[in-house]
Amino acid sequence: MRFLNIGSEAVVKGDILSRFIELEETDPKYLGDISLSFILAGKDTISVTLSWFLYKLCKNPYVQEKTAQEIRQTTNVEAGSTISELAARVTEENMDKMQYLNATLNETLRLHPAVQVEGKFSSRKSMSSSRTKVEPGLFDP
């Protein structure tokens, strides 16, 4: 999908807000209510994930330094800069370049999911209906 952006074309992102903006008839109160619901629903999962992320960084100085180094290099901020200086240089483009930070956040979510995942563990060697071999101890979400 495309829209005009001050004379130039741009691709609309698939985020939730963009999807609501695309609706033909949008009640501002409805959009406000939905947005507030998403913000309130996400605050707990985000805080749990960030708590685990910071805990893991504190427990692993090598990963902590490598993450900090990537952030400094990507944003061109010197060590010892203020948080305001760093925040001013964090852009969506810079965030896309921070692969190590993304990997550490994904690993945090893998090790400590904010939402419990129910699944099955195989207790013995077997074969699934799609003829895939299933080894003992395999987790199937």
Flag whether 136 is in a domain: no
* Least confident range of 19-23, 33-37, 94-98, 116-120: 116-120
* 52 part of a folded domain: yes
pLDDT for 2 = 44
Predicted confidence (pLDDT) at residue 121 exceeds the cutoff of 90: no
pTM recorded for the entire structure: 0.60
pLDDT at 4: 47
Residue 87's φ and ψ, nearest 5 degrees, are -60, -35
Which of 13-17, 98-102, 129-133 is predicted most confidently?
98-102
Number of structural domains found in the chain: 1
State the residue range of the domain holding 50: 2-115
| Residue 17 in domain | yes
Burial of 41 (0-12, 13-18, 19+ CB in 10 A): exposed
Residue 124 DSSP code: S
Whether the per-residue pLDDT at 136 is higher than 80: the answer is no
**Does residue 121 fall inside a structural domain?**
no
